[in-house]
Structure 1
Amino acid sequence: MISSSKIKSVDFYRKIPRDLTEASLSGAGLSIIAALSMLFLFGMELNNYLTVTTSTAVIVDKSTDGDFLRIDFNMSFPSLSCEFASIDVSDVLGTNRLNITKTIRKFSIGPDLRPTGSEFHSMPVIHLLKHGEEADDDSVEGSHMVTANNFDSYSHEYPILVVNFYAPWCYWSKRLKPSWEKAAKTMRERYDPEMDGRILLAKVDCTEEVELCRRHHIQAYPSIRIFRKGSDVRDDHGHHDHESYYGDRDTDGLVKAMEELVASIPLEESHKLALDGKHKNTAENVKRPAPKAGGCRIEGYVRVKKVPGNLLISARSGAHSFDTSEMNMSHVISHLSFGRKLSPKVMSDVQRLIPYLGGSHDRLNGRSFINHREVGANVTIEHYLQIVKTEVITRRYSREHSLLEEYEYTAHSSLVQSIDIPAAKFHFELSPMQVVITEEPKSFSHFITNVCAIIGGFFTVAGILDAILHNTMRMMKKVEIGKNF
């Protein structure tokens, strides 16, 4: 059995009896200085250990989130009607998706950008509209010409007023004219305004009645509107809530739709008309509420391939004409981002590592792009977006890594004149490179080693300084004593 004396023989720290030691004022001062210095350096080392450090590398894009990129947006167009607002996507590989509606929501808005009603639902195009084959016979005039002076009187006099807002130069208005006049004549013969008076077909020349057409937010020709007597009258110059007609434009189709509208109006039994069952719901399938304001807020998302492409927002219709000189694509971008959305908590955690991350994630958010028509008509507003993917690898827990993906972008915008229909274009291009930011955790053993080095180093250095100072003072005392003798 090993005795305690043998164990004591391996003691590295042999003790000197306290009675044999001598305290000095200089030693006390050095001890205090050394202790404060050790405490300060220990704090610095602890702060360095707790501070997150990262390494950044630029590598070839090795995306793990698939071949498609999600684009989220929320934009307001004060002068683009939801009736014709279209969201299109195209890319360099030949993809061309027109009028996307599945993931898009539209709300009519006023000049103050506030919604004027519930969500605007676009009606899917089931078939191509039928147009009459009749020649344009000016001798057939069945509809009444309506102006700003007599519009209110007509709308209050007849239970149903159907108005064709047209432009003489419009191709589709010219195609509609003969069928419209013949249908109006037929309806006038069947439902005489003097004897029956339930319906009247009229027309408005928007090149002459500009203000009247603006009041009813007519942005394309021809636009057929259905006004019902007794509908709520808004404060906006007595403007009626009304519906838009999107059915066939041949004479038979128009007559059937108008008869279905008349069937909903009560009349004495002697004047009721027995409609064929095939006419049932004809009008219901080809009309929907007209926009209550001339602007539109568009929100939603689209998925695009990770190749250079375009997101285009413009007015689109296969059976209407647009006066491009009157179109204004000014817009306010409330939100535009790429990739999956990060929750505020996750974004806050990421910014703990990289404070600047997310600084350009919403570069266009809250910005307004207004065309004051100083450069003329047919102005397209273009945005050029350069997108770079950033991956952040963070050590959330002791044994687990988490990967966060973020898309940053830069944007340059300009106003361009063109001969095409004005639009808001977003040209996007993804960089072939990506930025990888990795959190580098500190080694605890390295921290302990540094702490021991600080304590041991200062203790040793302080001891050396104390010995030098003590020996120097002793020598000075001996010299002083020698001089006295």
Structure 2
Amino acid sequence: MVSSTKLKSVDFYRKIPRDLTEASLSGAGLSIVAALFMVFLFGMVLSSYLEVNTTTSVIVDKSTDGDFLRIDFNISFPALSCEFASVDVSDVLGTNRLNITKTIRKFPIDPNLRSTGAEFHSGLTLHLINHGEETKEEFPDGAIPLTSGSFESFTHHFPILVVNFNAPWCYWSNRLKPSWEKAANIIKQKYDPETDGRVLLANVDCTEEPALCKRNHIQGYPSIRIFRKGSDLREDHGHHEHESYYGDRDTESIVKMVDGLVAPIHPETHKVALGGISNDTLKNLKKAPVTGGCRVEGYVRVKKVPGNLVISAHSGAHSFDSSQMNMSHVVSHLSFGRMISSRLLTDMKRLLPYLGQSHDRLDGKAFINQHEFGANVTIEHYLQIVKTEVTTRRSGQEHSIIEEYEYTAHSSVAQTYYLPVAKFHFELSPMQILITEDPKSFSHFITNLCAIIGGVFTVAGILDSIFHNTLRLIKKVELGKNI
């Protein structure tokens, strides 16, 4: 065994007996200053250790989230009806998806962007509508033409008023006309307006009565509306709540629909009988919009190639007057990629200077067409998208913390000969911004801490020695002079 004497010989810190040392006021003061300086430097080193060094670089996009990009949006159109609002997606590879509904929700709104009803479901408008066989046979007009002056009196006189809002130039209105007039004559014979008085079929020419059509929020031709006497008056808006018919447009289907509406009404008292309207009739009816606006929200998934997100009026059985379409809109939200939760950003406040600066360029902005009607104005947005990724190095390996897509936006308004739309052109950059966090190692922190303690202690000792020897020299000089 090694003796204690030999073990003591390797002591780096040999002790001097306390009786052989002498304390001084200057040494005490210097020790206090040195201790305070050590504390100050310790705080700076600790702060530096807790901070994370961040480096930013631009590299070729190495996306880990697949070949598709998610686009989330919430856009309000004060003058586009939910009946016809359609979300379409296309790209340079030839992908062309029309009237996406699975991930889209539509809510009717008023001109002040306030919701006026429940979610609008457009599923009934998607199936192919039967117009019957085309014929050149002329039928006597059975439907009554209505004007702004006569419209209110007819809606208050007949328990059921079925109105065809049309335009003479419209192809679909002309396709409907033979079936409609033939059905009107059949209904007139079955339910005579003079003796029965339960139902009447009528026409409104929207080129002659634009104000009447606008008041009933007619944006596509033809639109078949069902008005009910008395029970449909809305006190808060002064409008009549009514339904739209989305079923087949052949004579047989129209007559069957009217029969279903009239069946529950007693022919003498005009009171609604028990039982109500049949399910076959109800499936083709939907509450008509009480306002002409729509809020479109949801998301779509697109390929990571240049493409377009288009919102417009679309229907396979209606025509639109492009000069009357107004595509003004307010963007409440538009973002690309996975959303960053507010909790994550709160927990990682250090990332705020690098993130969230340009992922909401259009949020809260309004794009208003100032023309009285539409004037064939298309509003387009050009979006350049860049991916930003934040990674951290732990145990020598990189780990991704956050991935988000930021974009720049440039908007323009242009007149078009076609149907006006709201179009969002998007293009992803082949490069991405990589932000790398390099946390300091604990060994680096300990090394700096030891350097502070040893360095300050040594420098303070040197200063104390210089100060002490200087005082001794001064005292010797004074003694020499006195001798």
Contact 1:158 1:200 in 2 (8 A): yes
Equivalence for 1:182: 182
Equivalence for 1:390: 388
Equivalence for 2:469: 471
The amino acid across from 2:136 in the alignment is A
Deviations 1:435-459 (A, max 9, x none): 2223222111111111111111111
Tell whether 2:116 aligns with 1:154.
no
Tell whether 2:201 aligns with 1:220.
no
Separation (CA, whole Å) in 1 of partners of 2:444 and 2:110: 64
Contact 1:54 1:437 in 2 (8 A): yes
Equivalence for 1:312: 310
Separation (CA, whole Å) in 1 of partners of 2:236 and 2:133: 36
Quote the offset at 1:357 in angstroms.
Answer: 0.6
Equivalence for 1:276: none
TM-score (norm 1): 0.91
- 1:457 pairs, out of 443, 452, 455, with 455
Separation (CA, whole Å) in 2 of partners of 1:455 and 1:209: 92
Contact 1:385 1:409 in 2 (8 A): yes
Name whichever of 374-383 and 49-58 sits farther off.
374-383
Separation (CA, whole Å) in 1 of partners of 2:70 and 2:194: 60
TM-score (norm 2): 0.92
Quote the offset at 1:131 in angstroms.
Answer: 4.8
Contact 1:52 1:353 in 2 (8 A): no
Separation (CA, whole Å) in 2 of partners of 1:465 and 1:136: 117
Equivalence for 1:297: 295
Quote the offset at 1:163 in angstroms.
Answer: 0.6
Quote the offset at 1:70 in angstroms.
Answer: 1.0
The amino acid across from 2:436 in the alignment is T
Equivalence for 2:274: none
- Cα 1:399–1:345 change in 2 (3 A) is farther
Equivalence for 2:420: 422
Equivalence for 1:277: none
Quote the offset at 1:283 in angstroms.
Answer: 3.3
The amino acid across from 2:17 in the alignment is P
- Cα 1:457–1:3 change in 2 (3 A) is same
Quote the offset at 1:483 in angstroms.
Answer: 2.6
Instruction: Please show how residues 62-461 of structure 1 align to structure 2 within 5 Å.
Output: 62-122=62-122, 123-135=124-136, 137=138, 140-235=140-235, 238-267=238-267, 282-373=280-371, 377-394=375-392, 401=399, 403-461=401-459
Contact 1:132 1:249 in 2 (8 A): no
Indicate the SS of the match to 1:244: strand
Name whichever of 421-430 and 319-328 sits farther off.
319-328
- Cα 1:237–1:388 change in 2 (3 A) is closer
Question: Pairwise CA RMSD of aligned residues?
Answer: 2.5
Contact 1:136 1:177 in 2 (8 A): no
Contact 1:328 1:371 in 2 (8 A): yes
Quote the offset at 1:399 in angstroms.
Answer: 9.8
Equivalence for 2:28: 28
Separation (CA, whole Å) in 2 of partners of 1:186 and 1:375: 38
- Cα 1:237–1:40 change in 2 (3 A) is closer
Contact 1:387 1:429 in 2 (8 A): yes
Deviations 1:207-235 (A, max 9, x none): 22222211111111111111122433113
- Cα 1:186–1:397 change in 2 (3 A) is farther
Identity of aligned residues (%): 71
The amino acid across from 1:383 in the alignment is H
Quote the offset at 1:98 in angstroms.
Answer: 0.2
Quote the offset at 1:374 in angstroms.
Answer: 8.3
Quote the offset at 1:411 in angstroms.
Answer: 1.4
Quote the offset at 1:7 in angstroms.
Answer: 2.2
Separation (CA, whole Å) in 1 of partners of 2:56 and 2:21: 56
- Unaligned stretches of 5+ residues in structure 1: 270-279
- Unaligned stretches of 5+ residues in structure 2: 270-277
Separation (CA, whole Å) in 1 of partners of 2:326 and 2:386: 31
Deviations 1:165-200 (A, max 9, x none): 122232322332333222212221222111111210
Equivalence for 1:274: none
Equivalence for 2:272: none
- Cα 1:136–1:359 change in 2 (3 A) is farther
